[in-house]
Amino acid sequence: AAPRPAHGCGSGALLGRFGVLLQALLALCAFSTLMLKRFKEPKSERRPWRIWFYDTSKQAIGALFIHFANVFLSDLTEEDPCSLYLINFILDATLGMLLIWLGVKVVSWIVQHKKYTYLVFGEYGDPPQAAAWIGQCILYLLIMVFEKTVISLVLLIPGWTKLQQILLGYIPNPQLELVLVMFVVPFIVNAIMFWVVDSLIMRKYKQKDALDINGSTETPRARRTEESQVLLSPDMDFDQSESDQDVSGLWGTNQKMKQPSYQVVI
């Protein structure tokens, strides 16, 4: 057995039984924030479950790829894989977040310029097509591969070893360090990242729905007004026509009464 370091978790701790349990708990808690986000959306803009699954599953695939890549890279060291995993995670949450945003913007501009409608993030057709979801998952996974490649190149810069030695050196208990690195910090940061990225890749139809809502609330009132005008206008015309006939009849009678009569005597 490999000797345990003076501080930090030992080699293979991330893939141990306790580490895997923490990772499963992290996945359950982190993705529950996406469900909470759906229920926080207004009812008029809330996505159907199928569209919500298509949107969030792309993040799930990307997050799993980043997580297992970080576990693999962190387990290459024999000193303290927990601190190296934390460094990878912090870089993913800062510089990586900027790279993901940039990648989504560039890919969205390209597919809109080429008029690939089903590859626009959040657009799946009507009815939703699984082929569009698969294509968008591949694009998002390519963005995550690009992000992780850049982060791995950044880690090759000298100086990270010293930060790794002092980052979690004040925690004497290896299991406490594992809980902090694999659950507490990732849960907080992942919740924020999932919320932001979901808003970035979901369909933007708030303005259209707002117009539809306004139309649906105003249309019945307008219809009632038009119906009332239609119902009232014949009666008004009828009354007006009758009054006009009465006046014309009276006027004609008065003219007959006032007209002088002449008798011709031969």
Q: How many percent of the chain have pLDDT more than 70?
A: 69
What does the domain layout of the chain look like in residue ranges? 13-40+56-206
* Long-range contacts from 168-175, C-beta under 8 angstroms, 24+ separation: 168/7, 168/8, 168/80, 168/82, 168/83, 168/86, 169/7, 169/8, 171/7, 171/8, 172/7, 174/4, 174/8, 174/9, 174/10, 174/13, 174/82, 175/9, 175/18
Summarised one tens digit per residue, pLDDT across range 133-188 is: 999 999 999 999 999 999 999 988 877 767 766 766 677 777 888 888 888 888 88
The token duo for 59 is: 């993040």
- Mean of pLDDT values over 226-234: 46
What's this model's pTM, rounded to 2 decimal places? 0.67
pLDDT at residue 248, as a whole number: 54
The token duo for 104 is: 């989504």
pLDDT at residue 215, as a whole number: 42
Summarised one tens digit per residue, pLDDT across range 21-30 is: 888 888 888 8
Q: Maximum CA pair distance of the chain? A: 154
More confident residue, 8 or 99: 99
pLDDT at residue 171, as a whole number: 74
Average pLDDT, the chain: 75
- Hey, CA dihedral for 87, 88, 93, 94, is it positive or negative? positive
Cβ 58 vs Cβ 140: under 8 Å: yes
Phi–psi pair at 230, nearest 5 degrees: -65, -40
pLDDT at residue 207, as a whole number: 38
- Mean of pLDDT values over 109-114: 89
pLDDT at 76 > cutoff 50 = yes
- Split at pLDDT 50, 70, 90, the class of 238 is very low
